[in-house]
Structure 1
Amino acid sequence: MQDSARTHTASPAIPFDAKKLDELMEEAGIDVLLATSKHNVQYLLDVERAIFFDYMDALGVSRYLPIVIYAKGAPDKAAYVGHRLETHQREVAGPWVPELRTTAHGTTDAIALATQLIRGAGVPAKRIGVECAFMPMDAGKALQDAFPNSQVKDALYVLERLRAVKRPAELAKLRMASELVIESMLDVIAHHERRATKRQLSDALRVAETSRGLTFEYCLLACGASHNRAPSEQRWEEGDVLSLDSGGNYHGYIGDLARMAVLGEPDAELKDLLAEIEQVQRAAFAAIKPGVAGGEIYSAAERALQTTSQRDNTEFLAHGMGLVSHEAPRLTATGPVRYDAADAKRPLEPGMVVSVETTMKHPRRGFIKLEDTVAVTPAGHEIFGEGGRGWNLGGTALR
């Protein structure tokens, strides 16, 4: 058998809680699961993403479609279908699954391989769970054609519940990502002063994050009285505020934080405005502890918002963090970024990670924001990357 299509001896260590996944699949009425999103494939296999397809679909005739196959209660029947261009990676650090097929070229032949593996394993397949939002139409049709008497169900919720509580190694990566993003922001602020453009600042942050071992994902930045956060030729001038909001990826896990700076010394009004945002953040932090319903984070923040001078210009958002910037726990269906509120009434658990952000769009002073990453611990919470919370002064390293 070719190296790219083989059966191998699986490692005894399954990287996720298989018992929990079995229970979630039972609750959802799923016999066999096909995970196809890059983040869930990484999570279930605990290996690096395919290099050639990490941030793009490199071949323009079809999507990259990795598939982890997991049958309820039968991890010994698990399999992985990958692209032929990731064969060498899987040889260096092979996943735990017993069956490995890195011979796919596109979406439909990946599904054809998955179909063969499911039938060959002899596992029940009357109810097949897929990530509907991450399944190309041609692949989905091919799957349904291959199993015409099976029910295809959405497994997104199952996989989100599985990932909601982070393992210690995941928490360590999120902590590192957060600390390196903050370090990068403070470095950029200290080494830039008047007349630097927003585009130059964004480019500098990319370099700063990359040099620290992060994969730069984005930078949203605003300066002066403008609320526009796209890189541009707008210049940072004396007295202007600067908002930096960036995501840096550390081995798949996102550091997503926001900090503020000013050219010159902040005046009393700016100090008061940032203090109001800090007040809302701290109120939300206080609600983050085991056993508290997730929606209480919003309730606590809303009570604090009511006491601020800029209530009509300020919004609050909290969302889960991990392999993607917005994941479980999902806490609101009515916030500025909307999805279901599946965790609003569920208790927070140790190992969950929440991004907490308060944004003020002041009509005169501009865009003022803090965003923090907070992990639920057995005793309460821990803030990852807490530095630089006040007004950071531009150009200090140049003087």
Structure 2
Amino acid sequence: MNFKTRKKRAALAAKTAGVDGLLVTNLPDVRYLCGFTGSNAALVLTGGRAVLFTDGRYTAQAKAEAAGTRVVIANKPAVMAACEWMIEAGVKRCGFDATQTTVAALESMRKAVPAKLRRAMFAPVDPLVAKLRQVKDADEIAKIRTAAKLGCELFDGMLGYLRPGLSEIEVAATLEYEARKAGAEAMSFETIVASGERSALPHGRASSARLPKRGFVTMDFGVVLDGYMSDMTRTVHLGRGQREERDVYDAVLEAQEAAVAAVAPGVTAGEVDEAARSVLRRAGLDGWFTHSTGHGVGLEIHEGPRLAAKQTQRLEAGMVITIEPGVYMPGRFGLRIEDMVLVTAGGYEVLTPSVKAWVEL
């Protein structure tokens, strides 16, 4: 990981935003800029310098992980120590990410500086580091590709395990156990297993409900490897499917593949969303598609860009996004199909190539 280049880019973005210092407190942003993975941190970038503030629990860890960044072990809250240091360093205008800073945190920051400087010291800025994180470098892409590959292997293994009568919790627990055995640090989010009528819940977390003798089973899950996350959804059918179920599945699959095919540098996020939505509109199913088409993935499971209607942000090579249209009919059934897709210079690469065609178990 080229942390030196990342810190320089973040410092340049801060300068462009009109501040001479940048206070970074969002932990994924801190990790992105210096490699530190602890649960308490504040990173200051100013005048070509980078200083990481944390507490005594992380003395050895911070020095090992944040090589190339000065580490200060503070005997007070890291954010307050960082603000006091900035005053001593001559910072006049400190930028902070308004989307990640609570009112209480901002009040603590202000209390850490002399009263006469409080009004002018802190300036809310756009999520500068989060925007840099949207375009992944080669090291990040390699990590995400590995995580996505493991996700596919886990899904393939589950095809021989699923059967009527298992509880959704048993399915989720088995998947997560296999993920851990295969080396996953954690799951990207709480595993979603929704079956039968519950498949109509877009975020139907695994419950005690039993898999039906006949009906859909949707599994939405991801794994974390070396900090980077995967995300995929597959829906299979237990027993013989009815014609309507097959037709809806085929429409969702067509919508998903149309959106994937629309991915390319320069295309807007809204255009990718519309590629999926228009297929479902022609099939008379768009009213049952109740969420956006996708999102970025990296150190966090939901990053930019957001692929939704009327979003004007243009895709760039190096972005990793999800494409995940679905149809949800309350009281009946639902389904979703999701891939992770890398935007490449020439178009796209699907990182989760597991089978998407109709699977009947």
**TM-score normalised by L of structure 2:** 0.88
Would you say 1:143 and 2:73 are equivalent positions? no
The answer to whether the aligner puts 1:152 opposite 2:119 as a matched pair is: no
Distance apart, 1:277 and its partner CA: 0.8
Change (3 A) 1:307 1:110: same
The equivalent of 2:73 in structure 1 is: 102
Which of the numbers 185, 191, 210 marks the counterpart of 1:219? Answer: 191
* Alpha-carbon distance change, 246 to 156 in structure 1, aligned in 2, over 3 angstroms: farther
| Corresponding residue for residue 115 of structure 1 | 83
Please give the alpha-carbon distance, in whole angstroms, between the structure 1 residues aligned to 2:131 and 2:334. Answer: 34
The residue type paired with residue 353 of structure 1 is V
Amino acid at match of 2:122: V
1:5 alignment counterpart: none
1:348 aligns with 2:315: yes
Q: Which residue of 2 aligns with 1:328?
A: 304
3-state SS of paired residue (2:293): strand
SS in structure 2 of the partner of residue 360 of structure 1: strand
Unaligned runs of 5+ in 2: none
Q: Look up the match of 1:79.
A: 51
Q: What amino acid is the match of 2:144?
A: L
Deviation at 1:389, TM superposition (A): 1.3
Q: Which residue of 1 aligns with 2:133?
A: 163
TM-score, length-scaled by structure 1: 0.80
What SS does the corresponding residue of 1:148 show, helix, strand or coil? helix
1:134 to 1:331, Cα distance in 2 relative to 1, 3 A? same
Q: CA offset at residue 34 of structure 1?
A: 0.9
Instruction: Tell me which residue corresponds to 2:17.
Output: 28
Distance in 1 separating the partners of 2:5 and 2:173 = 37
Residue in 1 that maps onto 2:159 = 189
The sequence identity of aligned pairs, in percent, is 25
CA distances 1:289-348 after superposition (whole Å, capped 9, x unpaired): 11222321122223222222423223442222211122222344xx6xxxxx7xx33432
Matched residue of 1:29: which SS?
coil
Matched residue type, 1:224: G
AA in 1 matched with 2:13:
L
> How many angstroms apart in 2 are the aligned matches of 1:187 and 1:170?
26
Offset at 1:250?
Answer: 1.9
| Number of aligned residue pairs | 351
Tell me if the contact between 2:266 and 2:315 (Cα under 8 Å) persists in the aligned partners: yes
CA pair 270-331 structure 1, distance change in 2 beyond 3 A: closer
RMSD: 2.4
Tell me the SS of whatever aligns to 1:325: coil
Shift of 1:78: 1.0
For 1:367 and 1:212, how far apart are their aligned partners in 2? Answer: 30
Q: What is the CA-CA distance between 1:29 and the residue it aligns to?
A: 1.8
Q: Which amino acid aligns with 2:342?
A: A
How far apart, CA to CA, are the structure 2 residues paired with 1:247 and 1:329?
Answer: 19
- Of 116, 139, 149, 1:179 maps to 149
Amino acid across the alignment from 1:185: F
1:280 aligns to what?
255
Contact in 2 for aligned 1:33/1:155 (Cα 8 Å): no
| Separation of aligned partners in 2, 1:388 and 1:211 | 23
Rounded Cα–Cα distance in structure 1 between residues aligned with 2:283 and 2:331? 16
User: Structure 1 residues 139 and 270, CA, compared in 2 at 3 Å: closer, same or farther?
Assistant: closer
Match for 2:282: what amino acid? T
Gaps (5+ residues) in structure 1?
1-10, 54-63, 336-340, 395-399
Structure 2 Cα separation of the partners of residues 16 and 126 of structure 1: 24
1:188-207 Cα shifts (integer Å, max 9, x gaps): 33213110011111111221
